[in-house]
Amino acid sequence: MDTKVSIIVPSYKRNRELFSRAIESLLAQSYENIEIVVVDDNAKLELLEYRQALSDYIQETNSDKIKYIQNQENLGGALSRNVGIENATGEYITFLDDDDKYLKDKVKKQLDFMLKNDLEMCFTDLSIYNENEKLIDYRDHNDISQFDKDYLMKYHLTKQITGTPTFMVKKSVLLDINGFDNVPMGQEFYLMMKIINSDAKIGYVSQNNIVAYRTSLEAISTGPKKISGQKELFKYKKTYFEILSFSEKQYVRCRHYAVMAVAYKRNKKYFKMILSLIVSVMSNPILAIREAIKLSKKINKTNQE
């Protein structure tokens, strides 16, 4: 019998147009032995309309591939994913946010790669679009040269292996590390750190079968959380600075303050934005310029394909 894959989809305060796009992309997967675990986190009374809309849609879809779970209290994204993991029956688990989508061969291609290489965890590329369907970012890891624990740890601390939809992990590994930590931001970063520390056999396949979306509304609403969460993430990374070289530390600082500049801009804190940009460039001026050029080239190349 084919290996079963469970896809965890937490849903919170999302309208039907978006969550139906996500779920329908999973029902259209070319790999058939899947389980879609939808975790409804709309537990508060004021969120009843979202829960009703999601419940009605699941009932109308009437698919035996969907397992629908309603949280009795709002748990947040991290703990909702953990609920999904605990209730999943697949040997392998992957994730999708309720406003993103998979292309039809995502599960098949990633699972084939994992089975062929006897992996316990695998990640892929990721394309990110805005609400106008324009590509705004493309994340790949083609510069990875090794997959031993020490190398991956340094790579992840500096360049960050994200996001969650690119991950496919054996359920046993996720249970052993107790799933996601309940943090306001960077849940996938901390999860990847735990997977690397677990000595799981990890691999990377340079392909993209995921479309993630970032909207202006989302950016504004998550801004304050982004600022505090990014500060905590940077503080956490600094606890590992002893294993990083001077240039790697500067790399981490440069990226941190660049992200902070974007977060401050979204919150209209322009003075702090400018200060963060200055610190970012001063930390590593060559990197700041190179990263901007590299991102521009990646986006242009992908738009032409």
Give the list of residues 6+ apart from residue 125 with CB closer than 8 angstroms, or none: 138, 139, 140, 141, 166, 206, 207, 208, 210
- What CATH code is assigned to 5-213? 3.90.550.10
Predicted local distance difference test score (pLDDT) of residue 216 = 58
pLDDT over 60 (residue 297): no
- The share of the chain scoring above pLDDT 90, in percent, equals 73
pTM for the model stands at: 0.90
pLDDT digits 0-9 by tens, 238-277 = 999 999 999 899 999 998 998 888 888 888 899 999 999 8
94 and 114 Cβ atoms separated by less than 8 Å: no
pLDDT digits 0-9 by tens, 104-162 = 999 999 999 999 999 999 999 999 998 888 998 889 999 999 999 999 999 999 999 98
Calculate mean pLDDT across residues 158-168. Answer: 95
Predicted local distance difference test score (pLDDT) of residue 262 = 82
89 and 6 Cβ atoms separated by less than 8 Å: yes
Using alpha carbons only, give the angle 30, 139, 154 rounded to the nearest 5 degrees.
Answer: 115
Predicted local distance difference test score (pLDDT) of residue 143 = 93
161 and 155 Cβ atoms separated by less than 8 Å: yes
Calculate mean pLDDT across residues 160-176. Answer: 96
pLDDT digits 0-9 by tens, 20-53 = 999 999 999 999 999 999 999 999 999 999 999 9
pLDDT over 80 (residue 303): no
Ramachandran region, residue 271 (left: φ > 0; alpha: ψ -120 to 50; beta: rest): alpha
Predicted local distance difference test score (pLDDT) of residue 202 = 98
Predicted local distance difference test score (pLDDT) of residue 221 = 39
* CA-wise closest residue to 90 among 63, 111, 72: 111
154 and 244 Cβ atoms separated by less than 8 Å: yes
Using alpha carbons only, give the angle 47, 210, 133 rounded to the nearest 5 degrees.
Answer: 75
Show the 3-state SS of 124-166: CCEEEECCCCCEEEEECCCCCCCCCHHHHHHHHHHHCCCCHHH
What average pLDDT is seen over the chain?
Answer: 91
Edge-to-edge strand order for the sheet containing 210-213?
A: 101-102, 210-213, 126-129, 135-139
3, 8, 51, 104 alpha-carbon torsion, rounded to 10° = -70
| Domain range list for the chain | 5-213, 216-304
Other Cβ atoms within 10 Å of 163 Cβ, number: 20
d(CA 275, CA 95): 36
